[in-house]
Amino acid sequence: MIAPEVLNEWYPVAMAAQIRAGQRRVTQLLGQPITVALQDGAIVVTGQGGTMPVTEAFGHVWACPGTPAHPLFPIPEALETGRRLVDVGVVRVKCSPLRAVENFLDIAHFPFVHTDVLGAEPHTEVNRYEVSIREDSDEVWATKVTFYQPQAAKSAEGGIVTQYMYRVPAPTAAVLYKTCPARPDALDVIGIFVQPLTEELCDVWPWMALYDDTTPQADLIAFQQMIFLQDRSILENQIPCLLPLDPGMEIPTQADLTSIAYRRWLKKRGLTYGAQMVAA
Amino acid sequence: MTPHWTATGLSQDLPKAVAMAGHWQGQDLAIWRSASGRVQAWNDRCPHRGMRLSHGFVRGETLACIYHGWVYGADGGCKHIPAHPALTPPATIRVAAFACAEQDGVIWVAPADMVGAPVALSGLQPLRSISLTCDVAAVLAVEPALSGGDMLRGLVEIGGQACEVCLLVQHNAAGLTLHALCAVGADRIAASRWLEDLRRRAERKEAA
């Protein structure tokens, strides 16, 4: 029995361009079989109980298996002129969808998992940053995050101290804003939209809105795919598979403030699909 | 059950400064050898975010988690957290360590409070480890010269000659792992083929 709090959220289920091109996607959402297809020019998501509420945003198709508690979150930057919107594609990961989001919010792993790209020893220190739950939007935000990066993006030449902001606007989606190497006055936007197939299996759809007019599309996608494949080697080897929401099972530090806030936010809102509630 | 030593691998399969996955009585282990050669067996889980420590990396006499680089010293205590270089980690951050002994080319694991040494296997040399999808009864049924429970011993025919063998049994979800030793001076290639043949016969017996 899945809680209504979980059912009434929006989840990514496909890349919109693929469905619009006539592809039919037979997949799962929260353990139930669903089909995403084009019918009379409209994208339709069909589950066991019939069609479900659908919306299209940020290159992806979003579905709500229950009754939407609210509209899908906005990403205002997606509408800014001059940004390149990149649908990266899908990475299937055998892990809890919540673990996939939490990993995306984490910077301390950069030197060890994305070595010489997003981080490198001895630049391992995570400086104090700020985390809050924004009451107006009910989102988790981390701001004033900084980290030294040897190659912050495909367009970066040499190491820079990158500024980050992180945002969790939905239980299985996260968006980051980071220094744009090509335009120091602007921020690149990268999202991961995680489709919970089951509590222990997910499809991760990275998406980007960048200021980068020069890098070929294939190179941008390859860069991001490389990053997520490195993360997959971690995500498929965490014990337990489910994300522990009760303190005691895992030991965080100050560098994990975003993760701590995300876990509390999930627990408070009853968004426990993919979570473990009792310390084993 | 009285505490006892269980063979979890062969020394030859764990080079210096390497970590590998193992298991012991249903528990996943990170078994690793330090730069100086000391072998240890720990719970295969970093207390920080649950990452398997068997994926970690050895530097000197420490094992570090591959996820965030947390460094654990010889007693399983956390020595360093790279995200906070100036912090002395609290003593409560600790990986559970098991008793681990290396003797006769075999890596043995027991409860942390184990006293005494594993059984001596004199006159034998380590051969190889092999996994079987059957139980001990199937092995004994196809090779009646062997006897025992967790340690199968006997004189078997290898390359036309009688040869003493010792198979240290480790149970797992899929069946068995046998850590095999054979008499010093035996033809190791012939002994290895005998072992593979034993596996085929035992698995066929199990299926029948």
Residue type, A212: D
Residue pairs spanning A and B at CB distance below 8 A:
67
Residues B139, B152 contacting (CB under 8 angstroms) = yes
For residue B20, list chain A residues with Cβ-Cβ distance below 8 A. Answer: none
| ipTM here | 0.95
Say yes or no: A24 and A153 in one domain. no
> Which CATH number belongs to the domain containing residue A37 in this structure?
2.20.25.680
Say yes or no: A192 and A246 in one domain. yes
Q: For residue A168, list its beta bridge partners.
A: A140
pLDDT of res. B1: 66
pLDDT of res. A270: 96
pLDDT, average across residues A120-143: 96
Which tokens belong to A88?
């990266």
Where a domain ends, among A15, A48, A72? A72
Three-state SS annotation for A85-152: EEECCCEEECCCHHHHHHHHCCCCCHHHHCECCCECCCCCCCCCCEEEEECCCCEEEEEEEEEEECCC
Partner residue opposite A253 with nearest CB, options B51, B69, B83? B83
Which percentage of chain A shows pLDDT scores above 70? Answer: 99
Say yes or no: A207 and A247 in one domain. yes
Going from N- to C-terminal start, the domains of chain B cover: 6-110, 124-207
Peptide bond into B3 cis (omega under 30): no
Where a domain ends, among A24, A53, A72? A72
Say yes or no: A14 and A88 in one domain. no
**Which of B68, B70, B94 should one mutate to test binding to chain A, selecting the residue with the greatest count of A CBs within 10 A?**
B68
Q: What is the mean pLDDT of chain A?
A: 95
Question: Residue A262: which pLDDT band, with cuts at 50, 70 and 90?
Answer: very high
Partner residue opposite B69 with nearest CB, options A111, A240, A249? A111
Domain that holds residue A114: 76-276
Residue type, B113: D
For residue A126, list chain B residues with Cβ-Cβ distance below 8 A. Answer: 83-84
Straight-line distance from the first to the last Cα atom of chain A, in angstroms, rounded to the nearest whole number: 21
Question: Residue A279: which pLDDT band, with cuts at 50, 70 and 90?
Answer: low
Q: Is B116 on the interface with A (CB under 8 A)?
A: no
Q: For residue B90, list its beta bridge partners.
A: none
Inter-chain residue contact B81 with A240, CB threshold 8 Å: no
Q: Which range scores top for mean pLDDT: A108-112, A115-119, A150-154, A179-183?
A: A108-112
pLDDT of res. A112: 98
Partner residue opposite B83 with nearest CB, options A126, A240, A250? A126
**Can you list the residues of chain B whose pLDDT is less than 70?**
1
pLDDT of res. B67: 98
Note the pLDDT tens digit of each residue in A180-214. Answer: 888 888 899 999 999 999 999 999 999 999 999 89
Note the pLDDT tens digit of each residue in A61-102. Answer: 999 999 999 999 999 999 999 999 999 999 999 999 999 999
Out of 3.40.50.300, 3.40.50.720, 1.10.10.1150, 2.102.10.10, the CATH code matching B6-110 is 2.102.10.10
Structural domains counted in chain A: 2
Say yes or no: A159 and A265 in one domain. yes
Say yes or no: A68 and A178 in one domain. no
> Which CATH number belongs to the domain containing residue A179 in this structure?
3.90.380.10
pLDDT of res. A153: 80
pLDDT of res. B208: 80
Say yes or no: A94 and A41 in one domain. no
Say yes or no: A32 and A90 in one domain. no
pLDDT, average across residues A146-153: 88
Distance from CA of B51 to the nearest CA of A (A): 4
Residue type, B37: G
Where a domain ends, among A72, A91, A125? A72
Say yes or no: A60 and A87 in one domain. no
For residue A255, list chain B residues with Cβ-Cβ distance below 8 A. Answer: 68, 83-84
Better-predicted residue by pLDDT, B12 or A279 = B12
pLDDT at A54 over 90: yes
| Residue partners of A8: CB distance under 8 A and separation at least 6 | A64, A66, A67, A68, A69
pLDDT, average across residues A104-121: 96
